[in-house]
């Protein structure tokens, strides 16, 4: 469906997934995705143009539907005829026809069965089922529970996201009925990823319990690596502070971490697999490792190492 060699999508992370990363992932046989976040349409257009100069393979753009620029960005993606649009943090239903008319595949990220069913009816091409292990804006369910429920509820292909780091994660996702995976956190530490080096260091150093979900009480729960900002958010929640205080604290904090490298007062959005990331590697190596690992673990199961049928 996507014209890619391996069913591995790269998460379109705001301030992190630029043309360099997306092109490297696509060149290596996955689907690279530019993250548009809250960026202005002009920046997105430049990134798309740059990615086209860096790779002749298909790539995508993620549109964060909470952005005030989402409509304008989708219109320019139609003009630029990108191969794939993934969406996050909202319902892209009203844009599906416009994107399809331009030959663009539409793959929304969902974190519930209800939204998955609603979006299937709008004619989207596939869905990314994202569990709460992932970084950034998260839902309530884990990948393990969410993926098979969405696979059972819809007839279109499902991509599993959240908590996938290596071949074991990919194999597990396929066992749950997914046809592919999306990884974000691991690609943050790709050589080609422009995220600030202090963010990469923090992800690499992270241990199993170093992420936390803040902002549940505001309706915008976000998984981040624990730091001073996260502790301030937790304190606001304990004090039942009004929404404006969260907004004030959160404003500009993602850019502060990812671009400026302030890993204490910035929002270091990253998933639970941060603990498994132990170095910086080219995107091509990441993809090769995941594919080889999945083949290896699936092979050993097929050879009877897990003896389920005595
Ligand atoms: O979108 C994400 N992850 C993100 S977006 C982001 S940037 C940000 N900026 C400002 C506020 C909050 C975040 C950082 N991380 N993941 C995809 C995703 N989308 N996960 C869950 C959803 C989702 C949630 C609710 C999709 C649709 C939805 O419902 C909308 C509806 O209409 O029912």
Cβ-proximal residues to 284 (8 Å cutoff; 6+ apart), any chain = 24, 27, 28
Q: How far is the CA of 306 from the centre of ligand 1 (A)?
A: 38
How far does the chain reach from its first CA to its final CA, in angstroms? 39
Q: Which atom of ligand 1 is nearest to the CA of 136?
A: 15
Task: Read off φ and ψ for residue 201, nearest 5 degrees.
Answer: -60, -40
pLDDT of residue 301: 87
**Residue 110 CB–ligand 1 contact under 6 Å:** yes
Domain range annotation of the chain? 8-193+282-301, 197-273
Q: How far is the CA of 115 from the centre of ligand 1 (A)?
A: 12
Spatial distance between the Cα atoms of 243 and 256, rounded to a whole number of angstroms: 21
Q: How far is the CA of 89 from the centre of ligand 1 (A)?
A: 2
Predicted confidence (pLDDT) per residue in 79-120, tens digit: 999 999 999 999 999 999 999 999 999 999 999 999 999 999
pLDDT of residue 305: 62
Strand order, beta sheet including 158-161: 8-10, 180-183, 158-161, 127-130, 105-110, 84-88, 59-64, 32-35
Q: Is 71 left (phi over 0), alpha (psi -120 to 50) or beta?
A: alpha
Query: Is the separation of the CB atoms in 13 and 270 below 8 Å?
Result: no
**Residue 35 CB–ligand 1 contact under 6 Å:** no
Cβ atoms within 10 Å of 65's Cβ, excluding its own = 18
Predicted confidence (pLDDT) per residue in 57-67, tens digit: 999 999 999 99
Mutate to test the pocket of ligand 1, among 137, 143, 159, 183 (most ligand atoms within 8 A of CB): 137
Angle made by CA atoms 278, 27, 119, in degrees to the nearest 5: 85
Residue nearest to atom 22 of ligand 1 (CA): 89
**Residue 63 CB–ligand 1 contact under 6 Å:** no
Total residues found in the chain within this entry:
310
The ranges of the chain with pLDDT < 70 are 304-310
Cβ atoms within 10 Å of 282's Cβ, excluding its own = 13
pLDDT of residue 114: 98
Helix, strand, coil share of the chain (percent; to 5)? 45, 15, 40
**Residue 89 CB–ligand 1 contact under 6 Å:** yes
Q: How far is the CA of 111 from the centre of ligand 1 (A)?
A: 9
Element (H, E) at 197: helix 197-205
Paired tokens of 180: 């592919």
Spatial distance between the Cα atoms of 76 and 41, rounded to a whole number of angstroms: 8
The interaxial angle of helices 19-27 and 41-54, nearest 10 deg, is 30
What Rg value do the Cα atoms of the chain yield, rounded?
19
Q: How far is the CA of 137 from the centre of ligand 1 (A)?
A: 5
**Residue 31 CB–ligand 1 contact under 6 Å:** no
Confirm or reject CATH 3.20.20.70 for domain 8-193+282-301, answering yes or no. yes
**Residue 37 CB–ligand 1 contact under 6 Å:** yes
**Among candidates 153, 116, 114, 147, which has minimal Cα distance to 133?**
147
Cβ-proximal residues to 269 (8 Å cutoff; 6+ apart), any chain = 13, 135, 136, 222, 223, 224, 254, 257
């Amino acid at each position: 469906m996507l014209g890619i060699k391996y069913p591995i999508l790269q998460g379109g992370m705001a301030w992190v997934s630029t043309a360099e990363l997306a092109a490297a992932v696509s060149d290596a046989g996955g689907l690279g995705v530019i993250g548009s976040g809250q960026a202005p349409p002009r920046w997105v257009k430049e990134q798309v143009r740059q990615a086209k100069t860096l790779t002749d393979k298909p790539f995508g753009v993620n549109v964060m539907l909470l952005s005030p620029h989402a409509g304008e960005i989708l219109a320019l993606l139609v003009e630029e005829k990108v191969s794939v649009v993934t969406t996050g943090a909202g319902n892209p239903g009203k844009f599906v026809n416009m994107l399809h008319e331009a030959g663009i595949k539409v793959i929304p990220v969902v974190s519930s069965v209800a939204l998955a069913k609603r979006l299937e009816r709008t004619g989207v091409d596939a869905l990314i089922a994202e569990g709460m292990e992932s970084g950034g804006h998260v839902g309530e369910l884990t990948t393990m529970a969410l993926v098979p429920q969405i696979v059972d509820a819809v007839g279109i292909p499902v991509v599993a996201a959240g908590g996938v780091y290596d071949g074991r994660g990919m194999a597990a996702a396929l066992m749950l009925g997914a046809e592919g995976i999306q990884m974000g956190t691991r690609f943050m530490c790709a050589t080609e990823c422009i995220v600030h080096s202090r963010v990469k260091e923090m992800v690499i150093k992270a241990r199993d319990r170093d992420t936390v979900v803040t902002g549940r009480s505001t309706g915008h729960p976000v998984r981040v690596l624990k730091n001073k900002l996260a502790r301030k958010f937790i304190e606001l929640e304990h004090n039942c502070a009004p929404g404006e205080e969260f907004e004030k604290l959160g404003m500009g904090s993602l850019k502060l971490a990812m671009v400026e490298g302030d890993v204490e007062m910035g929002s270091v959005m990253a998933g639970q697999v941060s603990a498994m990331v132990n170095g910086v590697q080219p995107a091509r190596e990441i993809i090769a490792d995941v594919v080889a690992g999945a083949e290896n673990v699936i092979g050993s199961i097929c050879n009877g190492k897990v003896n389920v049928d005595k």
